Homo-oligomer: A and B are copies of this chain.
Amino acid sequence: MYSYMKRDSRLSGVLHVLLHMAQQPGPFTSETLAKAMDTNPVVIRRIMAGLRELGYVHSERGHGGGWTLACDLSKVTLRDVYAALGSPSLLAMGNRTEAPGCLVEQAVNAALAQAFGDAEALLLSRLGEVTLAMLSDDLRKRLGSRKIHDISAHRA
């Protein structure tokens, strides 16, 4: 591959959570999900907050509480999930100055805006083509003949 791909892994993380949840009935506590993701329960709650607001998941407190899926997986795309995270920046690079008076800067910005804009649009388009149901189906294929993946047994 080309570059490194680091930094923001919230989309990756929240999809991991959703896919786990799609494999067995809930509810799942933040702690359970956090253990499966090797992270902290508060991180789970944080990345799930936006999805709850949009009604993709539901959360309940107290005994027997936790997170449950609350949407039609075939209706929610990766782009929807991305938006639920607050649409964080997709590109790592950008213009030095957004609205420069300098004509040199304007010429540079125009050229880069074209390339960056095209790439961003394509990425959003691709994310919009993939539903959670498609991801879940792909996962089931990968699981193959094995029994239903038990989240409590999770750990590489």
Contact = CB atoms under 8 A, between A and B. Distances in A.
Interface of A: 1-13, 15-16, 19-20, 23, 37, 78, 87-96, 98, 100-112, 114-124, 126-127, 130, 134-135, 138-139, 142-143, 149, 154-156
A26 B150 CA distance: 67
B138 A110 contact: yes
Contacts of A119: 90, 119-120, 122-123, 126
B101 A156 contact: yes
Nearest to A19: B104
Given A12-B96, A12-B109, A130 B102 contact: no
Nearest to A132: B111
A138 B156 contact: no
